[in-house]
Structures are given as C-alpha cells and as structure tokens.
Amino acid sequence: MALTAEQQQEIEVARDGTAATRRPTVPALEALLFQAIPVLDHGFVRVVDYMGDDAAIVQAARVSYGRGTRAANEDRGLIRYLMRHRHSTPFEMCEIKFHVKLPIFVARQWIRHRTANVNEYSARYSILDREFYIPAPEHLAAQSAVNRQGRGNVLEGAEATRVLRLLQEDATRNYDHYLEMLNEDEAGRKLDETRSGLARELARMNLTLNTYTQWYWKTDLHNLFHFLSLRADPHAQYEIRAYADAMMGMVEAWVPNAAAAFRDYRLGAVTFSAQMLAVLRRMLTGEAVAQESSGLSKREWRELMEALGRAG
C-alpha cells in the first residue's frame, strides 16, 4: 500500500493532535488511531473515531450510573454471559468509524451488511486513482468443483501468468480509456482544450471492478461482530477476509473482553440443529449412528462430522 505524501501528512497531523475529554478512552486503540493498516496490494483500513469500551457494555447491561467498583473478573464474566446468550443491545452502546480503501468488487460484497452508516468516495465528483487489485499468485485459484461461490486449486505456470497479465492489461487499458473519455489526467487537468470530455458520472462505468474506491464505514459493536462472524470466517472470500482480519485486531485493542468472548462463542464455535443434537446424544450413549439412520441429509451429516473432527 502506497500512501501519497499528502495522505501521510494528513495522518501525521491527525496523530499529533490531542484533545482533553471526560469520556472513557482506550489507550491501546488510541495508539492505533488514524494509522493506515495495509490490506491487499493498495488497500488499507484505519480507525478514525470510536465511542465506548468494555465498561460501556457492562454499564448498559446493568443500567448503572458510572463505571462502578465491581471486580474486573465480574465485568468479564458478564460480557461473556451476554455474548453466550446472544444479547445485542449492550454491545450496541459502542460505536466505531473506519476509513477503508478497497477494490470495488469487495465493496459490493461489503455493502450487503446494511446495518452501518456509509459514505463512499464519489466518482461523479472526483477522478478515481490509477490503482487496481491484482491478486498475489497464491490467491489465484480456479473455480471450485464443489462450491459454486468458492475457489479450488491454485493456478500455476503459464495459465497463472496469462491470467495475471490479462487482469493488469484490462484494468490499465480501461483506465486509460476512462481518462480519455473524461479528457482529463489523473490530477483533473484537461488533456485537449478543444474537447469537453464525457461527464465523470458516465465515464466511470468503463472501469474494472478491481479498481480501488474508499469509504467511511461507521457501525456499532453488535453489528460489527455480525460482520466479522461472516467475513473473518475461513469460508469467506479471501479479499474481504483480509479486511475483516485487520479489523479484528483493532477490535481486540478496543474491547479486549468482548473480543475474547466473541472469539470463543462466535468465531470459534459451532451450532448444532435440534436433529444434530439428537444424533450426538445417541452417539454419547454408545450407539453406532450412520447417516442413513440419523435423519440428517448428506450435507448435514457431513457438516456434523466435520464439526466433530470425524471422517464423514
């Protein structure tokens, strides 16, 4: 990820500033404020602002007036209880705002999480940067034969080289045509004084989906955990998972007790259906249960065996 000199200067100015406040702050997250954490080849995610901490979750659950005098292990225990029993509103008391730079195709996945406030860079008003996501070779894979929305084996040799070349050539050519239609360069200066150029809101349609965009994304902790439970999952697409992993590190700095509970009860946990639980109880009594006699479909049986660490 390469920040421009202007962007780096803006970050340094922001990090040098301080403000006196009576509201709770989190030193570990304060240390990360405004820092652009690299993601993919040109992307980043950074925390711009936040409200609340672990104590705010406890305060909301107890509807108390202050931070209280209870022992830290009691607060930790309450947070774990709230997470374990899927209480939501206490976690909604904490909010965080991210600045994210990401490929357009990742943004289109991300925007499906509608429980956030989003403001995206406007390509109707400004010219997008000449930056495209090109996968690293180890992430260039064929279509999975068993998962219609997943990847299979990594491409190798001449096939991988050709795909990478096509991705780079197409993105570069379309961006060049984008500027040509605009009749502007990347700085917004006219290329030919005799031509008007196409409107920016129309010229942008020619750009490839691996072009980078940026947005501010603000959400509460409950909905952030929902986002992370889906996007930090090993089954999520690698590109959006890379952002989720970076954000998870920031959440751990911000609300360590809530983040630990989330890892234990959401990210590292599995859910059994009533039918699966019945099969598991039969197994615990010593019964040899097979898929055919389990009442589960083949897919459900496979998922149960995977969760138990057994061969299907």
| Calpha distance 287→112 (Å, rounded) | 44
Q: Name residue, tokens 């097979």.
A: 290
Task: Verify whether residue 112 is a known catalytic residue.
Answer: no
Angle (nearest 5°) at CA 118 between 187 and 236: 100
Let me know how long the chain is. Answer: 312
Q: For residues 99 and 40, is the Cβ–Cβ distance under 8 A?
A: no
Q: HEC string of 21-71?
A: CCCCCCHHHHCCCCCCEEECCCEEEEEEEEECCHHHHHHHHHCCCCCCCCC
Residue 215 backbone dihedrals phi, psi, to 5 degrees:
-155, 165
Catalytic, out of 200, 204, 231, 241: 231
Cα dihedral 57/62/65/70 (nearest 10): -90
Neighbours of 79 (CB within 10 A): 26
Annotated catalytic residues are: 231
